[in-house]
Amino acid sequence: MSQSVKEWFESRTGLGKIFQKEMVEYRVPKGLTLPYSLGVLAVLFFAIQIISGIFVLMYYKPDMKLAFDSVNYTIMQVVPWGWFLRSLHAVGAGFFMAIIYTHMFTGIYYNAYKSPRQLVWIIGWIIYMVMILLVLTGYLLPQGQLSYWASEVVSEMPTAIPLDIMEKVSLWIKGGFSIGDITITRLFALHVVFLPLLLIALVFLHIQFFHQTGVTSPDGRELHGNEKETVPFIYVTLKEGVIIAVVLAAFAYFIFFYSAPFTPSANFEPANPMRTPADIAPEWYLTAFYEIFRSIPNKFLGFMATNVFLIFLLILPILDTSKKKSATKRPLFYFMYLLFLISFAVLAIEGTQPATAQAAAIGKIFFIINMIFFISLPIISHFEKKKEALQ
């Protein structure tokens, strides 16, 4: 009986075939390390954001005068379990970004950008850009002081490029001469419809592409198609289940005990166009860029410097041409990678500090160290190729 029901469905849906292909025929190397679970975790937190987002959306009002109260009063105090939904969404966004950054940095560690996975990397980079837009637009919605002044800064961003038309672009983004109902409704539309849809499509492509090429192995060997040293993906989901439960436990800790770091206190002051906050720093996921931007006195050059960092990330597959993969097999690369991480961490931390001459000096020095990592990649590749040729 159950067999015929199964067949009835299978012949009409073909879902079983997809399951067979993606969970059983798709194989991954044995002995995958913890960082390999970050992708699954990212998908999980994307799902949490969508679900919790739908619920907070039911009470949120995209309006200059109503947004603040709809979040801090209606959702937090009137709606039963509203505080839980908002915490889910706010803490979830923090976890999501942290996971994406770690996923990206461990991807660099394992050289996951190299042939044949260049397209996986590029799609990943676009996902990262869309994510930044998503968290930014989301950050602006509660219309606290931070939201308001961040929208002001972001919409002024295009004018860093010294072209007349950029003033118009900035006006066009704002929908007027100051942040108003039009701005907030636009950002709202981007945040709840356009960007999530785009992200779903990109994530789908990302997964499809690496299922096609197989994942890297921790020690850098290409094991795609190697039956002996790989296992069907379905067994790995068991390990990932354990990790997911542990991460969710940490997530629950922040939601129920300590959500304050995810809802910055300065944003509990209603937006006030008359009062510029003393020092505004962006959230932690952007402070590194902010530090680079402000440590360079010229606005245009600062803007370009942050872009150089992003472009270098994008073209990693071109910079690093060595056939060798994984930092575990490349001591020189491993050393430079540590410098990269340290410089990024210093930039991110320094970006939260008040803008002083000292902060600017630190910003410049560590930006240069950061660049040295990227510039060293072709050189390291050159040496590694030479060494390989000798052997």
Residues near another protein, by CB under 8 A: 30-33, 65-66, 68-69, 72-73, 76-77, 83, 98, 102, 105, 109, 144-145, 231, 235-236, 238-239, 241-242, 245-246, 248-249, 252-253, 255-257, 261, 265-270, 274, 284, 287, 327-328, 334, 338, 341-342, 344-345, 348-349, 352-353
16 vs 261 by CB, closer to another protein: 261
Supply the minimum distance, in Å, between the C-beta of residue 277 and another protein: 10
312 vs 337 by CB, closer to another protein: 337
Supply the minimum distance, in Å, between the C-beta of residue 352 and another protein: 5
201 vs 246 by CB, closer to another protein: 246
Supply the minimum distance, in Å, between the C-beta of residue 248 and another protein: 5
What is the distance between the alpha carbons of residues 9 and 11, in angstroms, rounded to a whole number?
6
Supply the minimum distance, in Å, between the C-beta of residue 6 and another protein: 22
Please state whether 31 falls in left (phi above 0), alpha (psi between -120 and 50) or beta. left
What is the distance between the alpha carbons of residues 326 and 334, in angstroms, rounded to a whole number?
9
Supply the minimum distance, in Å, between the C-beta of residue 166 and another protein: 32
123 vs 255 by CB, closer to another protein: 255
Strands (E), the chain: 27-29, 230-232
- The helix/strand/coil state of 230 is strand
50 vs 98 by CB, closer to another protein: 98
Cβ neighbors of 92 (< 8 A, separation 6 or more) are 45, 48, 49, 52, 251
Number of Cβ atoms within 10 Å of the Cβ of 267: 20
Supply the minimum distance, in Å, between the C-beta of residue 10 and another protein: 24
Supply the minimum distance, in Å, between the C-beta of residue 65 and another protein: 4
242 vs 311 by CB, closer to another protein: 242
What is the distance between the alpha carbons of residues 350 and 338, in angstroms, rounded to a whole number?
18
Parallel, antiparallel or unpaired: strands 27-29 and 230-232: antiparallel
What is the distance between the alpha carbons of residues 93 and 142, in angstroms, rounded to a whole number?
14
91 vs 160 by CB, closer to another protein: 91
Tokens of 53: 């987002």
Note the Cα 285 to chain centre separation in Å.
8
Cβ neighbors of 63 (< 8 A, separation 6 or more) are 181, 184, 185
Supply the minimum distance, in Å, between the C-beta of residue 339 and another protein: 10
* Nearest alpha-carbon partner for 270 in 156, 181, 148: 148
Supply the minimum distance, in Å, between the C-beta of residue 355 and another protein: 14
What is the distance between the alpha carbons of residues 293 and 299, in angstroms, rounded to a whole number?
7
In sequence order, what DSSP letters do the residues of 318-336 get, joined into one string? HH---S---GGG-HHHHHH
Supply the minimum distance, in Å, between the C-beta of residue 292 and another protein: 16
CA angle 259, 261, 266 (to 5 degrees): 115
> 190 and 173 in contact (C-beta within 8 Å)?
no
Based on the number of CB atoms within 10 Å of its own CB, is 297 exposed (0-12), middle (13-18) or buried (19 or more)? exposed
148 vs 303 by CB, closer to another protein: 148
Cβ neighbors of 44 (< 8 A, separation 6 or more) are 244
What is the distance between the alpha carbons of residues 32 and 240, in angstroms, rounded to a whole number?
11
207 vs 339 by CB, closer to another protein: 339
246 vs 361 by CB, closer to another protein: 246
